[in-house]
Structures are given as C-alpha cells and as structure tokens.
C-alpha cells in the first residue's frame, strides 16, 4: 500500500535526503536533519504522489490520506507535548510547499495554523504574552485569508494601516494587544464580507484548507512560468510539509534568519546571512524590515552595522549556528542555504537546501571544496553549471571609465549591466522584445515580477536585503542586482526615481555594478574580465577528463583570437560569406551576381580573390596549425543584393550596369522560401567558378603561411547543404582540380581535406555514400533542426512560446538539440558515415555546439569535436568533461 505521509522529529524520520522526488527538497532535508540529530521542530510531509493523485482525480485526495495525517499529527503532539486545537496548550503548525527542485518564493506558506478565538487564549497563556498571541493570530488570518481563501491582501494591509493610524504608531510591532484584538475582529469581518463565510475556527478545517492551497498553487501562472524558465516538468508535483511552529517573535531572545554556509556571491568560506530579532521567518525574505548581518566581518564588509550583527547581539546562538554549518557541510558536502529560528534562546533549523550561488561562487566553492578534500576533482567538475561560466567571461565595467556614481546599495548579485530605466515587469519585457536593454527599478520585487527580471539586464530595489526575493532570484538568473538602496525614492505613479536630489525618469540610462553595489549614470564602458586562478584550475581538471575536442565558430581575427584565448582547439566553422559583406568586397560580389555569364562572374570573383586569400592567411596565422574548417559560400545570392529602389540605383551606378538589370536580377533571385532554395552547394553546382575561387584562395593562403612560418596548414574545405553523394563528388572533383593547379603553379605540396555539412535529413540518411567522398562530417544542427521540424528559426517566434507553454517542446529546439528527432538523424548519420568511411572525423557546428545538454548528446554519439561561439568555448570544455564523467 502506498504510504502518503512521512513523519520526522525527535532525532528520527521516516524519510531521508535521497527521497527528494517523493518528499520534495524541503521535506527530504527536514527528515535527513532530524535523523542527524539537528534541532528540527517535528512534523510530517505529504508526498508529491498525493499531488499527482490530486490532479489526476479532479482534486480529490487518496482515501487513506486523512487517517495518515491524523496519525502523523498525533506523533507531533506526543513529541512537543501539546495538542492541536487544545485551548490550553495549543499545538500550532506551519504548512509549506516543497517541490523536488527548489522554487524560491514561488509557492505559498501558512504559519501559526491552529489558532482560533479559543486557542489564542491558550497561546497567550503559554507564552505569557497576550500581544504576541494576538499578533500571531492576526498574521495567521492575514496569510490564510490571502493564500487559502483568495482574499486580496491589500484589504488586510488597509485594515492594519487603519489600526496603526488609530493608535498613532508607525510600525506593526508598536500595536498593543488591545489594538491587535480589534484588528483580528476587523480581519474576521473582512473575511466574512469578502467570502460570505466566517473565518474557519476548526484547526482541522484550517489544516486541510492550507494543504489544498499548497497543491492548488502548483498550477498558478507564476509557478508555471518559473518551471518553464528552469525546465522543470509539471508532472513532478509538490509535497506539503506540516511542522510544529517555533516562534522567533516571542521577544528579544528570539530571532529568525536565513544563512549560507559560504558566501553565495563570491564563494568565500565565511558565515553569510541575515537575521531579524523578534520576527517571524517571512519578515526576512519579504524584505519589509531590512535585516542585520550574522557576523561582524560581514557587517564590516558593507552589509550593515557590526553592533547589530548576530555575532554581537546573540553570541551564544551564533556559536550554535556556526556548529550547525559545519555539521551540514560535512554531511551534505555542499554549500547549504538554511532557515533558522531562535525561540527564547534555542536554535531551530527549519530548512536546509543546496544554496544557490553566482557563477564565480560556484567555481570557487567547487575548487575550494576539492582542495579541502570535501569532494573529489570529478565532483568539483560536476558541481559547476557550464552555462553559468558565461557570466565569468563577459566584459565588466572599465575601472578607468569616468562614471558618475549616484547611489550605493547591497551587492546582491554581481555583474555589470547598462540599460534604460523601467519600473514595471511588463514594461521590461516589452522593451526587451523591442530590442532595448533595460534596468528594472522596484521598491521590492515579488514572484509576479519574474518575467520582467528575466527580461531586464539588471535589477535595483530600494528595500530588502541580500536574501530578499530580488537578490535570490537575480543570483539564480545570473543577473546583476543591487538591493536595499534606501536612498532611492521611487514613484511608480510618476515613473520617476529620485536620488541625491536628482530625478531620473523612465528611459534614462543607468549602469549598475552588482558586485560593488554601485549605481552609475549613463552607459559606462566595459573591459574583458580577468579570469581567476580557480577558473584555470577547474578548466585544467576538465580538460583532463573530456574526450570531445572543442573548436570555435569564427571568421574574424577578433573572434579567432578570443576563442584561442579561451582554449579553442581549432575553428570548426568559418563562414566565408561574412567576408563578402565588407564594403570593399560587396561591390565585386554584386558585380558577380549581376554578370550574365561565367566569364563575367569570373572577372568579378577575381577582384574578391585576393581579399579572401588574405583573410585566410590571417586566420591560419592566428590558429598556428590548429585545424580550420572553412565552409564555402552558403547563403542565397539575393542576400548580397540591395533591398530598395534607391539602393538599386546606387548599385547600378557602382557596378556600371543598367538599373533595370539590377531590378530584374533582384526579382529573379527572389524566393518564396529562401531557406529551401538556391543556396549552399547548389550555388557551387550552378556556378562552379565561385567555389573554385574560394578553394584557390584557401590553398594559396595555406602555402603563403607555410612559406612565412614553416607551419603546415591543413585546411578543411567544407561543402554546405549537400543532399546526395553525387553533389559532393562533382564539387570535390573541381576542388581537387584547383588544388592540383595550385600545386603545379607553386611547386609545393598541399595538404587539405574535403568534407561536408550534414544539415539536411536526406544527407543524414544517405550518409554512407556521402562519406565515401567526405573526409569529415560537420553536423549543421541549426538547419537540420529547421528541416527536420519544418520550422523556420526566423518565423517560429509567433508560436514557439505557446509550444513551450503547452509543453509540446520541452525546450527551444534551436537552443538545445531535439535529441529525439534531430538527434536520431545525427545518430543515423554517425553510424552510416562510419560505415562509408571507418574513422571519419565527426563534429557539430550549430548553435547547439555550445549547449551543455547537446554536448552531452554529442559525447554519447562519440563525435570528435563540438564547435561553438568563442565565449562558449569554456562552457563547452566543462560540459564535455561533465559528459565524459556522467557517461563513464
């Protein structure tokens, strides 16, 4: 029989950390901590299988659930010696969601559950604090009313403001017991008015209401959005954790806080976190009161007042916390993110989970932990998300730049970003879709702002600390973020922000440095990052483990140099057409296209030839003997022709032909579906002189470099868009003839290879015969994806979002390889290519070459290399190492 409920507490537990899929991350770790003997309030977890059952059965629960919940509740009561609904010693509970993968801030929580008009008296009695009891009660009604009963929380806040106005105080904690009692009555009246129902008095009814709300919240839009952004399947479901309440708001010997076992921004091994004295947990995360740092060191480092640090004000509890840190890291062998509460001087751990961290922190923690012997080098390699390296490699602010600093705040998430000010998430999204860079400026952020945060280049908030919603989410996204900049006066109504006497408007440019917590006016120039020693260390470890070579897609000297700096082992794709668009060449290219015959084309091509040769000389010199794969002309010719009447005339004048001819040629070359038209090797078949010119330029360049440096260059000439062996055979013969001619003219031996792109489904299917003429294959997975799915990258935008939302596509197939469709063609081509030519060299040069999941696929297929854009080279190196370890 299925067990639906798992209990924990009192040094034991039904579950364990390994059961995350069933118990959710929070529940599994509560069970684990309980077994470890850490101070965890007792409780139980309702499994994710109940969530699945719930959605599969029209929101009904399994029949056995109620009895199991009752039994688990009885275990809590026994452990704490209090009873649920008992008017004298009432047990109060928290109800929290807990999905298998962490979803910060996405799911709803209810605290102080079990309070009603009778138990509140018992609580007051037990705590000997009536004010505390009624404050807990009003918080409970407010949370429950909002989360479970769906009442606009604005209504409760209004009542609270009225209550404060009535007694003339400013902060919630200045309200006395009488005022709070009255507020509770107001709240209850609000509930009755809004729902037509009284607030539920029965603690059991409250409990089931909260459980239902957690399960229901699994499908609210913001949860769906978060899952989509993080590739979390909806089928996973959430668990529900019910736990005995402990109180951080019973007095000044109480506190609540969140902490990381290492610094999640930098990775340094220091106590990191915040707390609030006499507060409930939600106060810290919500960012309403700005919390204090834990350690004096952290405070001195710019995060607050050392005299208010936990180390100063609650030194004993601080000591206990540091001990918990050590136990947790030793046990989990990972940096932990914990929530704790101190009730009357006693520390309780309410949650632990793997801490989110910035890319630099992930890198440092992985390398440090390996150095500390906590984990192995292999584990360190697997600990760093390759995609996150992107953040380390991109430019940072130029320290020499003349920047006017207008504000400082908490350095919540590092990185430099420039953008125009926007105040609303929707505006951030719209502006970004229109191609603009924006900085999202908010008093504070909430889960409803996720889409705007994702769209923005950076985020500023005037309230909230280092673990506020904005900070946590921004770090997860790798966005620059500065929090708690109290000096910002934000007016949503006027769409202005005033700081140090200066008023900035929506659309004004700002630059922010999330690592320094500094806000600057305007657009500040950037410089390339200096990579830390940890980076080099991890890369060295990775390079030892990987089998896949990593090349780059580059045609400019800048890109080639950058890629070599990042460790590229060759060029996997040099797109020659990019070389034709430069001012001094486009004219000759147009002359070629406008020519009436092969002779005319040859004359025009002769003008381009020296440029091509020089380009290749430069590339070969940079690559110093590393392999260079050069793709011959690929795009349709109309891409080189003008697009308007005025331009037509300019081209006619410049090339000396009649404008009518220009227009006729533009019209002739127009295509209904250029992606499926006269391009790739079809151009080479129709106009042999184009590829002949390119081949000659490549071969001559190879000999020039050999003469200059003595370095033998073995260019790999790549033919695009092949669909049959015959095409390749025809073109190969012509290129071989060019090579023979160049050899004869120069009297020098020439080394080269001829291969092809596999980018049409037919090429994948006919790979065996094609391989007989090809020394290498390079999978052009961009086009292969377009053809296999019948999906134009340029046009998919109109429905791709819907396809992702409806989960028709698990991820954007142009970002991560569609392994079950396109992937099978790659597999077929790999197998058949090897049949046709044992040991044929195989690589991939689509966008997917820099995507970790796709790299894992390439490793499993046994490809020889991946090729990606220069900045993704380190990502590919790490991903290739992870693939090797994962599939060992």
By CB under 8 A, is residue 673 in contact with its own copies? yes
CA atoms within 13 A on the CB side of 612: 29
Among 101, 765, 804, 885, binds its own copies (CB under 8 A): 765
By CB under 8 A, is residue 174 in contact with its own copies? no
Q: What is the CA radius of gyration of the chain?
A: 32
CA–CA separation, 676 and 683 (whole Å): 13
Decide the pairing of beta strands 458-461 and 480-483: parallel
CA–CA separation, 872 and 848 (whole Å): 11
Strand partners of residue 505:
496
CA distances from 195 to 109, 189, 192, 451, 471 (A): 20, 10, 5, 31, 36
User: In terms of residues, how long is the chain?
Assistant: 888
Q: Which of 365, 370, 411, 418 is nearest to 388 (CA)?
A: 365
Are 298 and 272 spatial neighbours (Cβ–Cβ below 8 Å)?
A: yes
Each as own residue / partner, the long-range contacts of residues 154-157 (CB below 8 Å, 24 or more positions apart, any chain) are 155/190, 155/194, 156/187, 156/190
Is residue 2 helix, strand or coil? coil
By CB under 8 A, is residue 228 in contact with its own copies? no
By CB under 8 A, is residue 593 in contact with its own copies? no
The pair of structure tokens assigned to 779 is 């999978």
Decide the pairing of beta strands 255-260 and 336-343: antiparallel
By CB under 8 A, is residue 727 in contact with its own copies? yes
By CB under 8 A, is residue 747 in contact with its own copies? no
**Nearer residue to its own copies within complex by CB, 664 or 751:** 664
Among 410, 796, 858, 878, binds its own copies (CB under 8 A): 796
**Nearer residue to its own copies within complex by CB, 631 or 877:** 631
By CB under 8 A, is residue 820 in contact with its own copies? yes
By CB under 8 A, is residue 685 in contact with its own copies? yes
By CB under 8 A, is residue 55 in contact with its own copies? no
Among 818, 847, 851, 856, binds its own copies (CB under 8 A): 818
What is the smallest separation between the CB atom of 763 and its own copies, expressed in angstroms?
9
Residue positions annotated with a catalytic role = 469, 845
Among 790, 838, 839, 888, binds its own copies (CB under 8 A): 790
CA–CA separation, 871 and 391 (whole Å): 10
What is the smallest separation between the CB atom of 428 and its own copies, expressed in angstroms?
22
By CB under 8 A, is residue 730 in contact with its own copies? yes
By CB under 8 A, is residue 808 in contact with its own copies? yes
- From the number of C-beta atoms within 10 Å of its C-beta (0-12, 13-18, 19+), residue 505 rates as exposed
By CB under 8 A, is residue 772 in contact with its own copies? no
Are 53 and 90 spatial neighbours (Cβ–Cβ below 8 Å)?
A: no
Contact positions with its own copies (CB under 8 A) in 650-669? none
What is the smallest separation between the CB atom of 799 and its own copies, expressed in angstroms?
5
Q: Which residues contact 159 (CB under 8 A, 6 or more apart)?
A: 183, 186, 187, 190
By CB under 8 A, is residue 234 in contact with its own copies? no
Are 90 and 122 spatial neighbours (Cβ–Cβ below 8 Å)?
A: yes
CA–CA separation, 737 and 822 (whole Å): 35
By CB under 8 A, is residue 786 in contact with its own copies? yes
**Nearer residue to its own copies within complex by CB, 739 or 822:** 822
By CB under 8 A, is residue 597 in contact with its own copies? no
The pair of structure tokens assigned to 334 is 């990972």
- The interface region with its own copies, picked from 282-290, 509-517, 748-756, 762-770 by CB under 8 A, is 762-770
The pair of structure tokens assigned to 475 is 């770090």
Among 47, 295, 462, 788, binds its own copies (CB under 8 A): 788
Are 328 and 259 spatial neighbours (Cβ–Cβ below 8 Å)?
A: no
The pair of structure tokens assigned to 887 is 């599939």
What is the smallest separation between the CB atom of 834 and its own copies, expressed in angstroms?
18
**Nearer residue to its own copies within complex by CB, 224 or 885:** 224
**Nearer residue to its own copies within complex by CB, 672 or 744:** 672
Largest CA distance in the chain: 104
Among 363, 524, 560, 760, binds its own copies (CB under 8 A): 760
**Nearer residue to its own copies within complex by CB, 559 or 634:** 634
- The interface region with its own copies, picked from 9-17, 168-176, 230-238, 680-688 by CB under 8 A, is 680-688
Is residue 234 helix, strand or coil? helix
By CB under 8 A, is residue 726 in contact with its own copies? yes
**Nearer residue to its own copies within complex by CB, 617 or 723:** 723
**Nearer residue to its own copies within complex by CB, 112 or 819:** 819
Angle between helices 119-127 and 130-147 (to 10 degrees): 140
Is residue 771 helix, strand or coil? helix
By CB under 8 A, is residue 635 in contact with its own copies? no
Size of the site for its own copies (CB under 8 A): 48
What is the smallest separation between the CB atom of 792 and its own copies, expressed in angstroms?
4
- The interface region with its own copies, picked from 213-221, 443-451, 648-656, 719-727 by CB under 8 A, is 719-727
Q: List, in sequence order, the alpha helices (H) in 299-443.
A: 310-313, 315-332, 359-372, 377-383, 390-393, 425-433
Among 331, 333, 762, 834, binds its own copies (CB under 8 A): 762
What is the smallest separation between the CB atom of 798 and its own copies, expressed in angstroms?
5
CA–CA separation, 179 and 874 (whole Å): 61
Among 798, 838, 839, 888, binds its own copies (CB under 8 A): 798
Among 308, 382, 516, 678, binds its own copies (CB under 8 A): 678
The residue whose two tokens read 């909230």 is: 464
**Nearer residue to its own copies within complex by CB, 205 or 668:** 668
Which residues of the shown chain bind its own copies in the complex (CB under 8 A)?
671-678, 682, 685-686, 721, 723-724, 726-727, 730, 759-762, 765-766, 783, 786-792, 794-796, 798-799, 802-803, 806-809, 818, 820-822, 824-825
């Amino acid at each position: 029989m299925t067990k639906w409920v798992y209990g924990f507490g009192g040094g034991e537990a039904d579950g364990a950390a390994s059961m995350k899929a069933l118990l959710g991350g929070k529940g599994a770790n509560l069970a684990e901590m309980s077994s470890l003997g850490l101070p965890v309030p007792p409780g139980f977890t309702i499994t994710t299988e109940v969530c699945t059952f719930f959605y599969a059965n029209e929101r009904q629960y399994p029949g056995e659930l109620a009895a199991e919940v009752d039994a688990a509740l009885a275990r809590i009561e026994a452990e704490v010696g209090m009873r649920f609904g008992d008017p004298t010693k009432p047990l109060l509970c928290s109800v929290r969601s807990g999905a298998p993968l962490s979803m910060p801030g996405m799911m709803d929580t209810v605290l102080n559950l079990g309070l009603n008009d009778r138990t509140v008296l018992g609580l007051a009695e037990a705590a000997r604090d009536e004010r505390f009891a009624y404050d807990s009660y009003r918080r409970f009604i407010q949370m429950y009313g909002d989360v479970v009963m769906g009442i606009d929380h604005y209504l409760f806040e209004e009542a609270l403001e009225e209550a404060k106005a009535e007694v003339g105080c400013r902060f919630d904690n200045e309200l006395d017991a009488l005022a709070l009692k009255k507020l509770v009555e107001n709240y209850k009246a609000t509930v009755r008015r809004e729902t037509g129902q009284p607030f539920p008095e029965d603690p059991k009814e409250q409990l089931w209401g909260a459980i239902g709300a957690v399960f229901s919240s699994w499908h609210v839009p913001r949860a769906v959005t978060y899952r989509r952004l993080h590739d979390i399947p909806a089928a996973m479901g959430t668990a529900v954790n019910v736990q005995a309440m402990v109180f951080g708001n019973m007095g000044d010997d109480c506190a609540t806080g969140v902490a990381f076992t290492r610094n999640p921004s930098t990775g340094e091994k220091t106590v990191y976190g915040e707390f609030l004295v006499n507060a409930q947990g939600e106060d810290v995360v919500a960012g309403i009161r700005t919390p204090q740092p834990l350690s004096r060191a952290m405070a001195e480092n710019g995060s607050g007042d050392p005299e208010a640090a936990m180390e100063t004000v609650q030194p004993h509890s601080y000591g206990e916390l540091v001990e918990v840190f050590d136990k947790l890291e030793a046990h989990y062998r990972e940096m932990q993110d914990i929530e704790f509460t101190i009730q009357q001087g006693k520390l309780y751990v309410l949650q632990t989970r793997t801490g989110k961290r910035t890319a630099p922190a992930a890198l440092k923690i992985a390398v440090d932990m390996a150095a500390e012997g906590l984990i192995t080098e292999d584990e360190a390699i697997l600990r760093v998300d390759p995609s996150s390296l992107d953040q380390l490699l991109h430019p940072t602010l130029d320290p020499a730049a003349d920047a006017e600093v207008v504000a400082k705040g908490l350095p919540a998430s590092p990185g430099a970003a420039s953008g125009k000010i926007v105040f609303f998430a929707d505006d951030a999204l719209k502006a970004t879709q229109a191609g603009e860079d924006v900085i999202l400026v908010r008093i504070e952020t909430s889960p409803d702002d996720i889409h705007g945060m994702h769209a923005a280049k950076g985020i500023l908030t005037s309230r909230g600390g280092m673990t506020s919603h904005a900070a946590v989410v921004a770090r997860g996204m790798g966005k620059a973020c500065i929090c708690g900049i109290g000096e910002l006066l934000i007016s949503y109504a006027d769409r202005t922000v005033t700081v140090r006497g200066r008023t900035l408007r929506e659309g004004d440019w700002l630059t922010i440095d999330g690592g320094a917590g500094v806000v600057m006016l305007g657009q500040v120039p950037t410089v390339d990052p200096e990579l830390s020693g940890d980076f080099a260390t991890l890369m060295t470890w990775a390079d030892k483990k990987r089998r896949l070579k990593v090349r780059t897609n580059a045609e400019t000297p800048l890109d080639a140099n950058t890629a070599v700096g990042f460790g590229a082992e060759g060029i996997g794709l040099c797109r020659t057409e990019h070389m034709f668009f430069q001012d001094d060449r486009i004219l000759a290219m147009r002359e070629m296209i406008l020519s009436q015959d092969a002779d005319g084309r040859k004359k025009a091509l002769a003008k381009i030839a020296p440029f091509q040769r020089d380009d290749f000389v430069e590339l070969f010199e940079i690559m110093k003997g590393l392999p260079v794969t050069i793709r011959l002309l690929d795009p349709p010719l109309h891409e080189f022709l003008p697009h308007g009447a005025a331009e037509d005339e300019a081209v006619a004048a410049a090339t000396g032909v009649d404008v009518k001819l220009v227009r006729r040629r533009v019209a002739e070359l127009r295509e209904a579906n250029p992606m499926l038209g006269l391009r790739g090797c079809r151009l080479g078949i129709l106009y042999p002189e184009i590829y002949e010119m390119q081949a000659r330029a490549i071969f001559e360049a190879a000999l020039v470099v050999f003469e200059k440096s003595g370095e033998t260059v073995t260019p790999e000439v790549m033919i695009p868009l092949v669909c049959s062996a015959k095409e390749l055979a025809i073109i190969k013969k012509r290129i071989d003839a060019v090579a023979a001619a160049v050899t004869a003219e120069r009297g020098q031996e020439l080394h080269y290879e001829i291969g092809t792109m596999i980018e049409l489904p037919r090429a994948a299917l006919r790979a065996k015969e094609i391989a007989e003429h090809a020394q290498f294959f390079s999978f052009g997975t961009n086009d292969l994806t377009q053809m296999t799915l019948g999906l134009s990258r340029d046009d998919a935008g109109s429905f791709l979002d819907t396809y992702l939302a409806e989960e028709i596509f698990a991820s954007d197939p142009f970002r991560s390889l569609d392994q079950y469709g396109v992937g099978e063609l790659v597999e077929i081509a790999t197998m058949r290519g090897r049949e046709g030519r044992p040991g044929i060299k195989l690589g991939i040069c689509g966008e997917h070459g820099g995507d970790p999941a796709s790299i894992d696929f390439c490793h499993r297929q046994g490809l020889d290399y991946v090729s990606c854009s220069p900045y993704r080279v380190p990502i590919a190196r790490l991903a290739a190492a992870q693939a090797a370890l994962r599939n060992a």
